[in-house]
Amino acid sequence: MGKILTGVVMVLAMGSGYTLAQQAGAVTPTYSSSPGASYSGGFRSGAPLGRAPRAVAKQSAQGAIHTVTEGQSIQRAVERAQPGDTVRVMPGTYRETVFIDKDNIRLSGVIEQGRWPILEGDGRLHDAILYSGNSVVVENFTITHYKGNGIMGQAGNNFEIRNNIIIDTGVYGIFPQLAKNGLIEHNILSGIEDAAIYVGMSDNIHVAHNEVFDNVAGIEIENSRHAIVENNFVHDNTGGILAFISPGLPVKTTYDVIIRHNFIVDNNTANFGAPGSTVSGIPAGTGILLNAADQVVIEDNIISNNKAAGILISDHANAAYMTLDPEVDPNSDQVMILNNMMTNNGYDTTAEIRAVMAAYSKQGNPDIIRVGPSKGSCIINRHRYISAGVDDFATCKFSNTANITSYLLKEPAPARVISPSEQGKYAYLGICSGCHSYNGRLIGPPIAVIQAMYNNNPQGLADYIAKPVKKRNDYPDMPPQDYLQPEVRLAVANYLLSLTH
Amino acid sequence: MTLLAPRRVIKPVIWVGQLLAMLRSLLPPMLLSGLLSAPVSAAEFQLNDQCPPGFDKNAQGLCILYTLYDQYDSIEDAGVGGLTSSLPRRRDGFRPEQIDLGRYLFFDPLLSASGRLSCASCHHPALGFSDGLGRSVGAGGAQLSRSAPTLWNTAFLNSFFWDAREKTLELQLQGPLYNSREMANTPQQLLTSINASANYQSLFAEAFPPGDSFASAGTATLPQIYRAISAFESSLISLNSRYDRYAHGYHQALNTREIKGLNIFRSFVARCAECHQPPLFTNQQVAVIGTPEPPGMPLDVGAQTTYGSERLKGAFKVPTLRNIGQTAPYMHSGRFATLRDAVEFYTKGRGHAVPAGVVLELHWHINEPNLSELELDLLVDFLKTLRDEQFTPAIPSAVPSGLAPVGTLPASMSRAGLEQHNN
């Protein structure tokens, strides 16, 4: 069997991948349009139903505002900003990579009468905005012509990315990676050669009210858990909305994803993904694509005019450009297809998908195609759709996800700080113990000797650590430890003076 | 900062330590190894009962590692991501005496059949716990097929060897010990020679006292040997480089060029950080990247053998980049002499070095970043900030067998090799 996820038409031969016996026995259609039971979801947020999703805590105090005008550097303002501050960027064009390696910074553009702050990469700069801090907000920017990503987060929890226009820029438009608790809303993204919005190896994510078009992939949830993708307008991409496990990554699962209330239409753009990329095998005309993702709910979307198929459920074995990962379960299990408005899909589909239809003796243009194993999956009102591979799905015991507003955390993920009482010990062992031991002579003098000198004077010792002066000719110079925060230096001093062995 | 920090004070030879401390400030570190290999025959051996730097001795007398990264967490506890993520699960909880016994074993050529090679012959502290060679040299000068990986931060790894074929340090170290082309020993011979040493008999008894789960009656056992060496290897911690200081919030730790290099490293153009994920600078996956072998060497299929799948032909473990500036040459068979050559590989085109007729399933992050010459230079600048050898243990001035510590030095530590390495 040819790989289902490839633009290349392959010579087809029937493999053993399909169990034709599965379609034996007529399936009684379930007619259900009345409200039924609700899906309970895979995560209890605890946030009140109906509350607008939010990932960053409200500030208890107003931070400083650092205003940047055209001709100035946004990065310089970020460097000046303290946690809690806002960097306000006025309309104009800025050519730089902005990186935020601190917590709780709001990077906020100002739009005046249609004039935006524009980040211009000139096809030369790598990423427009990189952040690693927690509780970072990025809003109201136009980003264009970067080689890499528009907005990239690396393990920054509690992010909010909203109201940005990201066009004709690099690999991913918005790419939070390895993050917990984040919101991506009201962005417009176009002309991205991979996924416009790509959530990678993350937990508790909400993607809503975005417009993504003319990209290879519209929205991709990859190696992530507890994600909701809702109310997005996803059109004219190669593939609309994807839930994937990509191989070779250190986080090995995707599950508990809800894709609901989206417009997923006309995703027929020819695939212009980079050769070898995981999206380069997506057939043009794919509405929703699941690959190895588990527990995905597809509910109340309008899925129309996607020429290959409305919903494509696949596994790694059927996907070109998926390298082997022995630690990944390669199948899409527990897929839940609830009511969706599907029409005019699969009208110009691929040879591989036609072969699947033929293998199941199905006629017509496919709304839903399933290849590869899919254990524990279910569907309601299956009689509405032209499909292959879902006849043996059970009927779902619920019809909606109305009980789930979002999977964002009720309270933001806690700041990553060490308690002050422990700080001294960690810093002492991580740094000082390389040169000092309690009694023995290492590089520097023994702790017992230092204790005798600084007894009852931790501040004096903390000051010395920051700016040592030579005290002993028979010892090498001590390098300054000024990179430690003053409070950490004091904690180290206190810890060191308290050691007894 | 001195390179070879003496980790422990061995009382009978304390004057050697003092002498060395002075010499260290005067001499390049590599010269010391020659000095250290002078045998001290009458040494009385005693194991350090204090934990190595970075470790705290708990109430049970076990060494527990503390790192500044412990204050962070990470998604799915994967131990990867960004500047402030936790480390992967680590091996610790060894007795300090076991760690110190492991240090003696590590530097003792008694472990090889010939009595000439120690673990340090290929994992020398002065060479980033590697050997400065593209492909290591084994028994009788045999040229091996792969390079010696660094041992820094092995405590955090969950697979070993370039092809990821072993899952614990204890299993890994038996590879070189018993491989006929490497240390060429046998389990029986190893036990016999260890137990023939009165020094080792008393040290093993001290390291594995009654009540220890590895305790034995009278003679040393293979599991004790493996455990002691693993304990020592797990103590090699390097997490206080200038990069780390930046990561923990002290942004002045890196200069402008280095920060630009960091931003290229983690950008989605170069994508280095997608596999070399901080804080360990490896995501511990295997990846097919298609680097060339040295001239004349056939293609190494790597993890294809481990996983029994042709789809992983040419896959190798993503190595850590910590202390990467100290471990040239680079890649699994050392094809690239310098860091500059190694980073340049990634911008010369997806699959450009794959031999004709060979089909490799290249990793999806291998792409065409089109980095400029300046950007490559900046990347190298950044990589060099990942250096921290503050916790380098001392090479024992004598080992219990009475043989010269380390035994045969890596060939790269000859005078010529030394000069090249320092450049």
Highest averaged pLDDT of the listed ranges A52-56, A172-176, A442-446? A172-176
Q: CB contact, 8 Å: A151 with chain B?
A: no
B65 closest CA partner among A146, A499, A140, A430:
A430
A381 vs A398: CA distance, rounded Å = 12
Q: How confident is the model at residue A371 (pLDDT cuts 50, 70, 90)?
A: very high
Mean pLDDT of A158-166: 97
Helix/strand/coil for B24: helix
| pLDDT of B217 over the 60 cut | yes
| pLDDT of B6 over the 80 cut | no
Among the partner-chain residues A126, A175, A253, the one whose CB lies closest to the CB of B269 is A126
Q: How confident is the model at residue B5 (pLDDT cuts 50, 70, 90)?
A: very low
DSSP per-residue string spanning B264-288: HHTSTTT-HHHHS-TTTT----EEE
Q: CB contact, 8 Å: A3 with chain B?
A: no
Q: Residue A47: its pLDDT value, please?
A: 72
The answer to whether B268 contacts A127, with C-beta atoms less than 8 Å apart, is: yes
| pLDDT of B273 over the 80 cut | yes
The answer to whether A430 contacts B269, with C-beta atoms less than 8 Å apart, is: no
Highest averaged pLDDT of the listed ranges A15-19, A452-456, B212-216? B212-216
Question: CA angle, B286 as apex, B150 and B262 as ends, to 5°?
Answer: 65
Q: Which ipTM did the prediction report?
A: 0.88
DSSP per-residue string spanning A186-223: S-EEE--SSEEEEEES-EEEEEES-EEESSSEEEEEES
Q: Residue B422: its pLDDT value, please?
A: 42
Query: Partners of B394 in the beta sheet?
Result: none
Q: Name residues whose C-beta falls within 8 Å of residue B8's C-beta, 6 or more positions apart in sequence.
A: A440, B48, B50, B52, B100, B103, B393, B394
Q: What is the pLDDT of residues B369-391, one digit of tens each?
A: 999 999 999 999 999 999 999 99
Q: CB contact, 8 Å: A448 with chain B?
A: no
Q: Tokens 């983690």 map to which residue?
A: B266
Q: Name residues whose C-beta falls within 8 Å of residue B176's C-beta, 6 or more positions apart in sequence.
A: B119, B122, B138, B182, B183
Give the number of other Cβ atoms within 10 Å of residue A46's Cβ.
8
Q: What is the pLDDT of residues A420-440, one digit of tens each?
A: 778 889 889 888 888 888 887
Rounded to two decimals, what is the model's pTM? 0.89
Are the C-beta atoms of residues A245 and A239 closer than 8 Å to each other?
Answer: no
B200 closest CA partner among B408, B360, B400, B4:
B400
A65 vs A84: CA distance, rounded Å = 9
Q: Residue B29: its pLDDT value, please?
A: 39
Say which range, A182-186, A452-456, B176-180, B189-193, has the weakest mean pLDDT: A452-456
Mean pLDDT of A162-186: 96
Helix/strand/coil for A364: coil
| pLDDT of A227 over the 50 cut | yes
Are the C-beta atoms of residues A397 and A376 closer than 8 Å to each other?
Answer: no
Instruction: Give alpha helix (H) positions in A350-431.
Output: 351-359, 420-430
Residues of A within 8 A of B81 (CB-CB) are 154-155, 177-178, 201
Q: Residue A474: its pLDDT value, please?
A: 84
Mean pLDDT of A228-254: 96
End-to-end CA distance of chain A: 69
Q: CB contact, 8 Å: B23 with chain A?
A: no
Q: Residue A35: its pLDDT value, please?
A: 59
Which strand (E) or helix (H) includes residue B141?
none
Residues of B within 8 A of A418 (CB-CB) are 68, 70-71
The answer to whether B269 contacts A127, with C-beta atoms less than 8 Å apart, is: yes
Q: Residue B399: its pLDDT value, please?
A: 97
Q: What domains appear along chain B, each with residue ranges and CATH number?
A: 11-237+391-422 (1.10.760.10), 242-384 (1.10.760.10)
Q: Residue A43: its pLDDT value, please?
A: 86
B306 vs B22: CA distance, rounded Å = 48
Q: Tokens 């001795």 map to which residue?
A: B57
Residues of B within 8 A of A99 (CB-CB) are 263
Among the partner-chain residues B68, B364, B391, the one whose CB lies closest to the CB of A278 is B364
Phi first, then psi: give them for residue A291, nearest 5 degrees: -140, 105
| pLDDT of A175 over the 70 cut | yes
Average model confidence (pLDDT) across chain B: 89
The answer to whether B78 contacts A178, with C-beta atoms less than 8 Å apart, is: yes
Q: What domains appear along chain A, each with residue ranges and CATH number?
A: 20-47+83-395 (2.160.20.10), 420-498 (1.10.760.10)
Is beta strand A195-200 parallel, antiparallel or unpaired with respect to A137-139? unpaired
Mean pLDDT of A132-155: 96
Say which range, A222-226, A485-489, B109-113, has the weakest mean pLDDT: A485-489
In the Cβ-directed half-sphere of A90, how many Cα atoms lie within 13 Å?
Answer: 9
| pLDDT of B227 over the 50 cut | yes
Say which range, A56-70, A82-96, B116-130, B194-208, has the weakest mean pLDDT: A56-70
The answer to whether A442 contacts B50, with C-beta atoms less than 8 Å apart, is: no
Are the C-beta atoms of residues A364 and A387 closer than 8 Å to each other?
Answer: no
Q: Residue A2: its pLDDT value, please?
A: 60
The answer to whether B68 contacts A180, with C-beta atoms less than 8 Å apart, is: no
Q: What is the pLDDT of residues B293-325, one digit of tens each?
A: 999 999 999 999 999 999 999 999 999 999 999
| pLDDT of A11 over the 60 cut | no
Q: Residue A350: its pLDDT value, please?
A: 96
Name the token pair of B335.
Answer: 């094809």
B281 closest CA partner among B377, B165, B153:
B153
Q: How confident is the model at residue A482 (pLDDT cuts 50, 70, 90)?
A: confident
Q: What is the pLDDT of residues A313-361, one digit of tens each?
A: 999 988 877 778 889 999 999 999 999 999 999 999 999 999 999 999 9
Mean pLDDT of A380-399: 95
A209 closest CA partner among A239, A189, A232:
A232
Q: Which of A79, A149, A324 to mutate to test the interface with B (most CBs of B within 10 A)?
A: A324
B111 vs B182: CA distance, rounded Å = 11
The answer to whether B245 contacts A483, with C-beta atoms less than 8 Å apart, is: yes
Among the partner-chain residues B67, B268, B368, the one whose CB lies closest to the CB of A170 is B268
| pLDDT of B10 over the 50 cut | no
Q: How confident is the model at residue B147 (pLDDT cuts 50, 70, 90)?
A: very high
Q: Tokens 């405590």 map to which residue?
A: B155
Q: Residue B1: its pLDDT value, please?
A: 37
Radius of gyration of chain A (CA): 27
| pLDDT of A130 over the 60 cut | yes
Phi first, then psi: give them for residue B339, nearest 5 degrees: -60, -35
Amino acid at B139: A
Long-range contacts of A51-54 (CB under 8 A, 24+ apart): A51/A405, A53/A183, A53/A185, A53/A206, A53/A208, A53/A405, A53/A406, A53/A408, A54/A160, A54/A183, A54/A408
Q: Sign of dihedral through CA atoms A312, A317, A318, A323?
A: positive
A240 vs B296: CA distance, rounded Å = 48
Q: CB contact, 8 Å: A172 with chain B?
A: yes
Q: What are the percentages of helix, strand and coil residues in chain A, rounded to 5?
A: 15, 30, 55
Q: How confident is the model at residue A6 (pLDDT cuts 50, 70, 90)?
A: low
Distance of CA B141 to the CA centre of its chain: 21
Q: Residue B274: its pLDDT value, please?
A: 95
Name the token pair of B360.
Answer: 């490799």
Residues of A within 8 A of B50 (CB-CB) are 437-438, 440
Mean pLDDT of A105-130: 97
A231 vs A300: CA distance, rounded Å = 10
User: Chain A: nearest CA to B181, how far in angstroms?
Assistant: 30
Residue of chain A minimizing CA distance to B79? A250
Name the token pair of A41.
Answer: 């979801």
Q: Residue B33: its pLDDT value, please?
A: 41
Q: Residue B423: its pLDDT value, please?
A: 37
Phi first, then psi: give them for residue B245, nearest 5 degrees: -65, -40
Q: How confident is the model at residue A46 (pLDDT cuts 50, 70, 90)?
A: confident
Distance of CA A138 to the CA centre of its chain: 15
The answer to whether B268 contacts A99, with C-beta atoms less than 8 Å apart, is: no
Residues of A within 8 A of B269 (CB-CB) are 126-127, 147-148, 170-171
Residue of chain B minimizing CA distance to A150? B268
Q: Residue A342: its pLDDT value, please?
A: 97
Q: Name residues whose C-beta falls within 8 Å of residue B281's C-beta, 6 or more positions apart in sequence.
A: B320, B321, B322, B324, B386
Mean pLDDT of A109-130: 97
Q: Tokens 């022995």 map to which residue?
A: A326
Phi first, then psi: give them for residue A38, nearest 5 degrees: -100, 145
Q: How confident is the model at residue B41 (pLDDT cuts 50, 70, 90)?
A: very low
